Amino acid sequence: MTLIQQADPLAFDELYLRYKKPVYSYFLGLLNNSVAEEILQETFLKILIKKNTFRFESKVKTWIWVIARNTLLDYWRSLDHKMENSFDTIYTSTGEENFESQLDDLETSLLKKIDSNQLKICIEELPKDQQEIVFLHIQSELSNQEISDILIIGIGAIKSVLFRTKEKLITCFKRGGHL
């Protein structure tokens, strides 16, 4: 990051190549292709413009994801889109200690049993906040802690959303693609 702050174009190119695909996949899961590409470009432009605001207090990866998410939220606000559920109303339920391994097992078994179109249909039926967390966890392969840092919500809330989302996706698959 120091080299990027010193305007080294090769360092920025390396950063772009490292994070382009996961950030684009995140956007693509929530937006159509052309808008996802536009928001991706805007995100990396903001990263370049804000490079000197990085203070080395967090990981570069987290800083990039925060900028990406904020860019997406700015886009949604510009279209008068609002997040459907308040993160403040999400609480961790008891008895969910093994939900991460259950989610991993679900991902593995579902990928073997369903086609990608059915998965996309089911995910699109989820509320926007759940879609976002699912894409950050599954497609972008971020840890729960990284998602918590990016979304600025507690890790317990992330775990709870993932657990409830898993249950909704199972219901959706059983119903053939409808929640």
Determine the average pLDDT of the residues in 18-29: 90
Burial of 84: CB neighbours in 10 Å, binned 0-12, 13-18, 19+: exposed
More confident residue, 118 or 141: 141
pTM above 0.95, yes or no: no
3-class SS of residue 138:
helix
Highest mean pLDDT among 2-6, 106-110, 152-156: 152-156
Check whether 11 has a pLDDT greater than 80.
yes
Please say if the pLDDT value at position 12 is more than 50.
yes
Instruction: Output 72 or 97, whichever has higher pLDDT.
Output: 72
**Residue 94 confidence (pLDDT):** 34
Mean pLDDT of 65-76: 89
Dihedrals φ, ψ of 31, to 5°? -140, 170
Tokens of 3: 């080299």
- Residue 167, classed as helix, strand or coil, is helix
Q: What are phi and psi of 166, to 5 degrees?
A: -55, -45
Q: Residue 126 carries which side chain, given as an amino acid letter?
A: L
Domains defined along the chain, listed by start? 2-78 (1.10.1740.10), 93-174 (1.20.140.160)
10-19 CB contacts, 8 Å cutoff, 24+ apart: 12/48, 15/47, 15/60, 15/64, 16/44, 19/61, 19/64
Is residue 67 within 8 Å of residue 50, measured between CB atoms?
yes
Mean pLDDT of 172-179: 71
**Over 90: is that where the pLDDT of 17 sits?**
yes
DSSP 8-state symbol, 92: P
Summarize the confidence of residues 99-125 as an average pLDDT: 62
pLDDT at site 101: 53
Q: What is the mean pLDDT of the chain?
A: 77
The answer on pLDDT for 83 being more than 70 is no
Mean pLDDT for 104-128 is 67
